[in-house]
A and B are shown apart, each in its own frame.
Chain A
Amino acid sequence: MFGAVGLGLWQATVWALGVPPYVLPGPVAIVLAIFQDAGQLVPALFSTLMVAITALLAATGIGVALAVAMAASRLFRAAIQPWAVILQVTPVVAIAPLIILWVDQPFAALVVCATIVAFFPILSNTAAGLAATPPELTDLFQLYGASRAQSLFWLSLPSAVPNFLVGLRISGTLALVGAVVAEFVAGSGGFASGLAYQIIEASYRLEIPRMFAALVLLGLSGIVIYAALGGLERLVLRRRDGA
């Protein structure tokens, strides 16, 4: 409702003041651009989503594996945690050129960048979930002589599922951000795919409606990813804990 009013005001302002589309296109021009330039935008969207989804899968694998290892060994935790934080606080824009230089295959390079951005919430949330295993249940497992593997697979990991899913939801949108940022760096280096490249190229050519169209697709993708992972979270927890 508010969104529709906002879009209406935006369009009305653009018409009333006669703002040229290369300064600020109205929503109508943007929607038209999405359809007119679908031939370029849809493959670009697909390319960006492939990078983001692959990165999210990689981030899930790496994040969960590191969280388990950190829960299992204090030494490993001490060794890994600083590096994880360093990777998290380093702007991906700063290291993306290096990664693109080091990794020959462009798709793999983009995935590496996006994974670096996305893995931290999964790691830290899963680690927090593993650490929050109810102490009484840990006692109970100890009482019946559970092995470390039994405690991990039958207790710690199932206990950490809700935290992991929260991390996954945050990482989902971050993977998209990471993919786009890496594409920006790669795109300025001449690697032509993805929505970021569309944004750069459209801005060079002053095709501002196409640029906005790419941004809109990006935003919609973010919403879809966030909502899909949120739905997955509810579904998994409902199945896990019963109605």
Chain B
Amino acid sequence: MLAIRSVTKRFDDGTLAVEEVSAEIKSGEFVALLGPSGCGKSTLLRLLAGLTAPSDGEIVWDAGARPGLGDIGFVFQDATLMPWADAAENVYLPLRLMGQRRAEAKARIDAALAQVGLAEFAESRPKALSGGMKMRVSIARALVSDPGLLLMDEPFAALDEFTRHRLQGDLHRLWRQSGKTVVFVTHSIYEAAFLASRVLVMSPRPGRIAADIAAKIGDGPERRDSAAYLALVGEITQALRGVMAL
């Protein structure tokens, strides 16, 4: 899908956020970017989205050209919905910005909302939705343009444990069914182990990739209890110990 080649990001104030990061992300992978707070995970995600440019190095896409509008979906830590617009209107936003009329977009909006289980809440304003539902709308908004690459920046960090578990299960199923490439930033070892097909462990600032762990723990919801899952958690923890006191 894409290759990150020796990418460095230094901010205007001199902060070195990521340094010499290289990685390849293959189509259809679910990559968890795991690391301590402030290690540059979010910056790396913004670099992938093209929201900020690398100071050094480059990101090379398989097709050769930068992805077009709507080829990348982005989910933030907060749902960041527009409070004045209902769920359908919020999900419509990417298509609206890409120049689609509401009538043309209706089927895709409905499908995206159905995908996250919120078909009945199309006309609800964010105020009337729970935290988990808002995040589902946010995910539907990222999916509505049918992007090949879904970038997620700690999307479940602010949710309660139960909601988080349920959304993690739903996201994993969605990924299985859609075959999209997902890059998922998290600082939870358990979340990374449960969701990802591959875990990239980052060192504290300036962020570098300290370990690249393939995850094969099966698919069912019961895998959270499996020995393979626990072994993976152990392996990731071990890798993190290599870069920080844990």
Contacts and interface: CB of A to CB of B under 8 A. Distances in A.
A141 B69 CA distance: 11
B162 interface: no
B125 A241 contact: yes
A243 interface: yes
Contacts of A134: 80
Given A142-B51, A144-B69, A144-B98, A242 B93 contact: no
Contacts of B72: 143
B142 to A, nearest CB: 9
Nearest to B99: A145
A144 B86 contact: no
B125 to A, nearest CB: 3
Interface residues of A, number: 20
Contacts, number: 58
Interface string B158-192: 00000000000000000000000000000000000
A142 B73 CA distance: 12
Chain A interface mostly helix, strand, loop or mixed? helix
A140 interface: yes
A243 B94 contact: no
Interface string A150-177: 1000110010010000000000000000
A191 to B, nearest CB: 45
Contact of A243 (B74, B80, B98, B128): B128
A142 B76 CA distance: 14
Contacts of B125: 241-243
A142 B50 CA distance: 9
B51 A145 contact: no
Interface in B68-87: 69-70, 72, 74, 76, 78, 80, 82-84, 86
Given A140-B93, A142-B51, A146-B97, A240 B83 contact: yes
